[in-house]
Amino acid sequence: MTPADRVRRRAVGSAIVLSVPAVLLLLALFAVPLLRLLALSVEGGSLVAYQRALTNELYLRVIFETFKIAAVVTLLTLALGYPVAYVMATSGRVWQLVGIAFVLLPFWTSILVRTYAWMVMLGRNGVVNRTLIGWGVIDSPLPLLNNLAGVLIGMVHVLLPYMILPVFNAVKKVDPNLVLAAEGLGAPRWRAFLRVTLPLTMNGVAAGVTLVFTLSLGFFITPALLGGGRVVMIANLIEEQVRELLNWAFAGALSAILLALTLAAFWGISRIARTRSA
């Protein structure tokens, strides 16, 4: 064993010791309730709840809708977040700090508060509609609340930082000389971006996509408040089963399905990302 090995081993040892409290906390607050929920879903050793969830067309529709919304939200945050992250990462220090502050600011506000704020903004007489009518862009108010549009706006807003931060990080890591080199070798700006910056930031994109997509799958408050009951995602379904029908077994089965789908999505995205970057 070389001294370097010894140092490394000691570092690993202390890392294990230091992580004990966090592991205990996770076990108590996360693993135990999860296991209890799973136990509930197979109450009496029967898989009836799963059968019901996976065969009833209504529930399958909700699962499909949930994935569709998560996919659309992910694409929208990517389309909106990448340019923001890119501009932030390539501008001067001051603007970078201002940008990060603006991205992080919403983090310090409760998601509930932000969602209520959107209700005020998006209503028939909300700020958005009144402004657009005031400017003469539209004649009658746009339906932005209690529908899919409202849910998408709210979710994109909440999830945007999860896309911006990893992409920002990835763009910052790209050596600016590489872009200069590409331009010097004959690539116009946009081609240098496509051939150098974009591929080198795919790991950040993958991280952002994974975060946003998997977080979207479990969204509850935003669809509940901005969807007006017309947009139902899995989490809303689970809540309804527990709160109104007290059907713990079915809620447990739905939760297990959501967990399985989330893990599958996570695995799928990271696989794609790995083959893309290889």
Write the CB contacts of 122 (distance below 8 Å, at least 6 apart in sequence): 128, 129, 144, 145, 150, 153, 226
Buried b (16+ CB within 10 A) or exposed e, 142-161: eebbbebbbbbbbbbbbbbb
Looking from the CA of 81 toward its CB, the CA atoms found within 13 Å total 31
Task: With contacts defined by CB under 8 A, name the span among 13-21, 193-201, 215-223, 224-232 that binds another protein.
Answer: 193-201
Among 196, 237, 258, 261, binds another protein (CB under 8 A): 196
Q: Among 8, 9, 36, 195, which residue sits at the site for another protein (rule: CB under 8 A)?
A: 195
Calculate Rg over the CA atoms of the chain: 23
Interacting span for another protein (CB under 8 A) from 31-39, 42-50, 180-188, 231-239: 180-188
- Looking at the Cβ atoms of 111 and 187, the one nearer to another protein is 187
The enclosing H or E element of 167 equals helix 148-173
- Shortest spacing between CB 186 and another protein, in angstroms: 4
Listed ranges 103-111, 170-178, 251-259, 266-274: which one lies at the site for another protein (CB under 8 A): 170-178
Binding to another protein by residue 272, rule CB under 8 A? no
Q: What is d(CA 252, CA 258) in angstroms, rounded to the nearest whole number?
A: 10
Distances (CA, A) of 229 to 96, 111, 196, 226: 40, 19, 45, 8
Q: Which is nearer to another protein, 193 or 248 (CB)?
A: 193
> Applying CB under 8 A, which part among 51-59, 82-90, 92-100, 190-198 lies near another protein?
190-198
List the one residue from 8, 36, 130, 191 that touches another protein (CB under 8 A): 191
- Taking the complex as a whole, the smallest distance from the CB of residue 175 to another protein amounts, in Å, to 7
Give the Cα-Cα-Cα angle 233, 106, 155 (nearest 5 degrees): 20
| Shortest reach from residue 204's CB to another protein, in Å | 14
d(CA 233, CA 62) in angstroms, rounded, equals 6
Nearest to 83 by CA among 179, 208, 167: 167
Of 53-61, 140-148, 191-199, 223-231, which segment contacts another protein by CB under 8 A? 191-199
Q: Which of 43, 183, 239, 240 binds another protein (CB under 8 A)?
A: 183
Does position 186 bind another protein by CB under 8 A?
yes
Assign 53 to helix, strand or coil.
helix
In 10 A of CB 223, how many CB atoms? 28
Q: Does 188 bind another protein (CB under 8 A)?
A: yes
Which one among 13, 33, 199, 268 touches another protein, defined by CB under 8 A?
199
Q: Is 178 in the site for another protein (CB under 8 A)?
A: yes
Instruction: Out of 48, 75, 132, 200, point to the residue binding another protein (CB under 8 A).
Output: 200
| Sign of the four-CA dihedral 88, 89, 94, 100 | positive
Q: Which residues in this chain contact another protein in the complex, by CB under 8 A?
A: 175, 177-178, 180-189, 191, 195-196, 199-200, 277
